Amino acid sequence: MAELKDEDLQKIKHSLEKDGYYIVRGLLSDDVLRQAEEELNKLVDKIAQEQLDAKRIDSLYEDEPFEKRIAVIFKDRLNEAPKIFRSELHLPGLYPIFFNKSLIDIAERVLGTDEVRLYPNYTCRPKVSGATERHTVLWHQDAGYTHSTSWHGLANYSEQELDTALKCMMNVWIPLVDATTSNGCMQFIPGSHLSGIQKHLERNE
């Protein structure tokens, strides 16, 4: 991605303030995306091998495309398909995303700081056709989770300190496959952030 121009920065800031989100296209190179896909395929290889060893499948389905392989592995047991990867993502092939220079540049300039800390809550959600309720991501505000949970390291913050901290955060969603309305794209309610952080309820599975 080319260096961020001042007019582009103002456009991003305006959209974030007005709508609560901004879509950046062409941020990551094909090589960065390829490395991420290869690294995540290793995770799927491990899952497939475990399922094969347990005699739950009779093939590793190595010829299935990246975006469909997990769904095929668990086609008759979708409720057993992994719904999220977190600690498994400490992988070298994903570092070019986590520490992407263009992405960090945007974060620094939007937040107005020369120092950005990578918040250690990166996740990857496999999407499967016909997913169960367990895999459904309910409507929420990311700040609602940060505001209401203690494991984020903010448990001892006052309300004022917490509100200030949340305004210094930026969340990023990066689809590694085409995201459409039919396969599970991101949905936003433009301007909903202007109503403040809403009360969030915990879902018990």
Q: What is the pLDDT of residue 205?
A: 58
Q: What is the pLDDT of residue 56?
A: 96
Q: What is the pLDDT of residue 50?
A: 97
Q: Which contacts (CB < 8 Å, 24+ apart) does range 103-109 have?
A: 103/27, 103/28, 103/172, 105/3, 105/4, 106/4, 106/9, 106/12, 106/24, 107/170, 107/172, 109/4, 109/9
Count of CA atoms in the C-beta half-sphere (13 A) of 29:
9
- Whose tokens are 């403040």? That residue is 196
Beta bridge partners of 85: 124
Residue pLDDT tens, the chain, 205 long = 667 788 999 999 999 999 999 999 989 999 999 999 999 999 999 999 999 999 999 999 999 999 899 989 999 888 899 988 998 999 999 999 999 999 999 999 998 888 888 776 788 988 776 666 667 788 888 877 766 555 455 566 677 776 767 677 888 999 998 888 877 788 999 999 888 877 777 766 5
Q: What is the pLDDT of residue 12?
A: 94
Give phi and psi for 124, each to the nearest 5.
-135, 125
DSSP letters, 124-135, are B----TT--GGG
pTM, 2 dp: 0.81
Nearest to 104 by CA among 25, 125, 96, 122: 96
Q: Which residues contact 131 (CB under 8 A, 6 or more apart)?
A: 78, 81, 184
Q: What is the pLDDT of residue 122?
A: 84
The three-point CA angle 73-97-12 to 5° equals 115
Return the number of other C-beta atoms located less than 10 Å from residue 87's C-beta: 6
Residue 118's identity, in one-letter code, is L
Length of the chain: 205
DSSP letters, 151-166, are TTTTTT--HHHHHHHH
Maximum CA pair distance of the chain?
57
Q: What is the pLDDT of residue 69?
A: 93
Q: What is the pLDDT of residue 83?
A: 87
Q: What is the pLDDT of residue 97?
A: 94
